[in-house]
Amino acid sequence: MALTLRSSTSFLSPVDPVSKLLHKAGAEDAPPCCVAVPATSPPSRRLRLLRAGAAAAPLEAERAPAEAELLHGGGAQQQHGRPQGGVPVYVMLPLDTVGPGGQLGRARAVAASLMALRGAGVEGVMVDVWWGVVERDGPGRYDWEAYAELVRMVERAGLRLQAVMSFHQCGGNVGDSCNIPLPQWVLDEMSSNPDIVYTDRSGRRNPEYISLGCDTMPVLKGRTPIQVYSDYMRSFRDRFQDYLGNVIAEIQVGMGPCGELRYPSYPEANGTWRFPGIGEFQCYDKYMRASLQAAAIEAGHEEWGRGGPHDAGEYKQLPEETGFFRREGTWNTEYGRFFLQWYSGMLLEHGDRVMAAAESVFRGTGATLSAKVAGIHWHYRTRSHAAELTAGYYNTRHSDGYAPIARMLAKRGAVLNFTCMEMKDEQQPAHASCSPELLVQQVKDTAAAAGVELAGENALERYDDAAFSQVVATARGAGLSAFTYLRMNKKLFDGDNWREFVSFVRAMADGGSRPALPRCDTGHSDLYVGFLDAAKERKAAPEAEGAGAAVAVL
């Protein structure tokens, strides 16, 4: 599919005079759709100005106090008085924007797509800065050139960048459209010492991310994982110091699978897990077992350190099918509380170590730090919250699993980035006991209480009005610092999808309302999409206004 940018007066030339990026795409490109842009593009800083000048407004109650108390032993509604107003929207770039070999793919398509996003009022884009790409040639050998090209391209487009320090592999999870493993030299270390990766009760190893159990062990060619992450971030800072705080607005620090602070408890690879399974605890590598044993001895119960819960079930099971997670299960016993406190505590310590390293590296650069927390909404309406427990969030009827994380991020001056903000309870299957809305509400309240900024993402690809309206409603009550949309691809630029997205960006800028855009606006007073289907394409193309440049869409 190709993207055709049309305007009565070009908005491309003042930003990027390098016309070779805007030439017509080659024969390999697919048939075009048409995106119309206004004669004058809205200023890219408008969103921050709106947010800064907006008045405070009360938080809307989104769950009944009685229901909140039932699920979490309290949590009555509070009005936090957080700033209300426009929320800047970022868009995630494709996972393989920089490929495994360190090359920037489809540069002309990326350039034109960035221009279209700028015309829509988007604040910026997000990109994964893959460890497996940058340090692929050996320890301490960094290749930033493709990312440098991308940063310059973002700057020319008048956008900003959220750079994700992606210390995980791509492939094997929801939405993964390519495979980018960890650096080969790290995989070699895994082969010689398999215990440096997460391991489940059956002995299955997961190579998505280095086990947090060996954070402080020199298991990577004489360096600890924390040292490796620190060196990587320091090299990034040195290479892009002139862009940090202006073009590069945010550094999101990856701390687990999918870049999220969690254990890889629900891997989809090879059919290991299937929604809405409870997942499994990941505490069986020798480093995690040694930590558990030491904690059990300290607690005066040496027998508790021999392994994880024996009755916790398997990946695809439901809570009531297990002894540990069922309504009156082991999770709510003295042993269960000990284990869950240790397991979640290890995750929290890992997050603090990595964020401390990031804070040290990026302090004074002007770039915002952030970390992503997973929106695990299935089995949320049960007492044990099984799926959250196996992921490392000690969030049950009696315990708030997100408060310690929020306090840790507040201490490090980082933003808490939370997912699943597009989801509604009514859209979920009944047997999964889901409640994304109550989960988001809990995290919103927890972030406010901890004094940490909250940002959001959608968990799944959505282009419909219901999803966008849900995000707008959530943003209106949460005082989000930013929202990052998943993701830029061909579908986003398709007719009605683009119309809905542009309307969504405007609603976020305006602080909540979602006026519909006209389907046809020949006066160019609004952004709109004229969709050209196969039957009408030949007839419609000559009638389009202004000159346009066609480029390949991702």
Give per-residue pLDDT as tens, 26-67. 333 333 333 443 333 344 443 343 333 333 333 333 333 333
pLDDT at 177: 65
Measure the CA–CA gap between 495 and 171, rounded to whole angstroms: 29
The type of residue at 160 is: R
**Rounded to 10 degrees, what is the CA torsion of 335, 341, 344, 347?**
-120
406 sits in which H/E element:
helix 403-411
Looking only at the bridges linking them, the beta strands covering 205-210 and 528-530 are unpaired
Q: What angle do CA 127, 420, 33 make, to 5 degrees?
A: 55
Could you tell me the pLDDT band of residue 524, with boundaries at 50, 70 and 90? very low
Q: Can 260 be counted among the known catalytic residues?
A: yes
Name the one residue in this structure whose structure tokens are 């990031």: 358
Of 176 and 408, the structure prediction assigns the larger pLDDT to 408
Q: Are 509 and 47 in contact (CB under 8 A)?
A: yes
250: left (phi over 0), alpha (psi -120 to 50) or beta: beta
Q: Can 62 be counted among the known catalytic residues?
A: no
pLDDT of residue 401 exceeding 90, the answer is yes
Question: DSSP code of 220?
Answer: B
Closest to 377 (Cα-Cα) out of 290, 215, 266, 475: 266
Could you tell me the pLDDT band of residue 226, with boundaries at 50, 70 and 90? very high
Considering the candidates 388, 437, 453, 457, report the single residue annotated as catalytic. 457
Residue 222, Cβ neighbours under 10 Å: how many? 8
Considering the candidates 260, 280, 388, 422, report the single residue annotated as catalytic. 260
Q: Is 455 helix (H, G, I), strand (E, B) or coil?
A: strand
Q: Which residue numbers belong to the known binding site?
A: 128, 168, 176, 372, 377, 419, 458-459, 487
Q: Which residue numbers belong to the known binding site for substrate?
A: 128, 168, 176, 372, 377, 419, 458-459, 487
Contacts with 256 (C-beta within 8 Å, 6 or more apart), sequence order: 168, 209, 212, 262, 263, 264, 347, 350
Query: In the structure encoding, which two tokens stand for residue 478, read together?
Result: 């949460």
HSE-CB of 139 using CA atoms within 13 angstroms: 15
pLDDT at 478: 86
390 sits in which H/E element:
helix 386-391
Provide DSSP, 407-461.
HHHHHTTEEEEE--TT--GGGS-GGGT--HHHHHHHHHHHHHHHT--EEEE-SS-
* Bond prior to 205 in cis (omega within 30° of 0): no
Q: Phi first, then psi: what are they for 33, rounded to 5°?
A: -115, 175
Measure the CA–CA gap between 420 and 429, rounded to whole angstroms: 15
Average pLDDT value over all residues in the chain: 83
Q: Which tens digits make up the pLDDT trace of 150-186?
A: 999 999 999 999 999 999 999 866 666 689 999 999 9
Q: Phi first, then psi: what are they for 499, rounded to 5°?
A: -55, -50
Q: Which tens digits make up the pLDDT trace of 434-448?
A: 999 999 999 999 999
Q: Which tens digits make up the pLDDT trace of 284-316?
A: 999 999 999 999 999 999 999 999 999 999 999
Query: In the structure encoding, which two tokens stand for residue 351, read together?
Result: 């997050």
The full set of domains in the chain, from first to last, is 89-275+350-510 (3.20.20.80)
Measure the CA–CA gap between 232 and 220, rounded to whole angstroms: 13
Query: In the structure encoding, which two tokens stand for residue 138, read together?
Result: 């050996």
Name the β-bridge partners of 260: 372
